[in-house]
Amino acid sequence: MQPFLLLYVSLHKQINMKKAILFLSWVLIFTTFSHAQIFKLDGLYISGGYGFGAATIETNNSINNSNNLQYNSYQNYSVGPFTLQTEYGVSSKIGIAFHVANMHSFEKGSYTEKVWNQNTNAFETLTSTFNNAKHVTGMSVRINNHFSKSEKLDVYWGVGLGQNKTRYNISTTGSHSMANPLNETPIFAELYLGGRTYFNDHWGAYAEVGFMKTFVIAGFTWRQKK
């Protein structure tokens, strides 16, 4: 099962990278023929989206290396991150933003293990089940540089610095804990390129690519029209 999961993750990342390249090409072509800037001083911009290509929960290596253990079933998947960002224009080019990303990883299954019984002086085969979850909330402060000269598309690049808060829900009937709570990065940095386009005076769509919680984030955006 695990080789198929690894193949799926690899293909998923390749697809996301192709999407990122196409998006960057579209941004560069569009901004080449742009003339006026859409991002405004004192403007308020709120965006909500969903990320693609998030990493799943990681298993404990001590379990995988056990010679006495055999998986009966195993599932490993992630949901999110769901993102929310509020940005304020401190100039006609620079915006300060507060960004929140929330994602959830899950794993569940069962395994059989040979355990030595001292009373009988023999190995016994025991079946264990597990159903674990990992919940991560990342909060960061961002600085966005809006460089496009367009009335239709707002293009920007930015950097961010934030902190992760992680919570585990671990449920297992065996002696092993499948989640690995030691592999954490409480402080993280972001580098990304984004673009927004609007359907009317207030509502539009946006996308970001780069080094974030995921490779690609896309969703809807709202602006305060003055």
Cβ-count burial 188-201 (b if 16+ within 10 Å, e if not) = bebebbbbbbbeee
**DSSP state for residue 60 in the 8-state scheme:** P
* Residue type present at position 117: N
- pTM score, whole prediction: 0.71
Rounded CA-CA distance 75/56 in Å is 10
- Element of type H or E holding 99: strand 94-117
Q: What is the pLDDT along the chain (226 residues), one digit of tens a residue?
A: 443 333 334 444 444 555 555 555 554 444 444 445 789 889 999 999 999 876 655 554 444 445 566 777 888 888 889 999 999 999 999 999 999 999 988 888 888 877 777 888 888 887 888 888 888 899 999 999 999 888 889 999 999 999 999 888 878 776 655 555 545 678 999 999 999 999 998 999 999 999 888 889 999 999 997 6
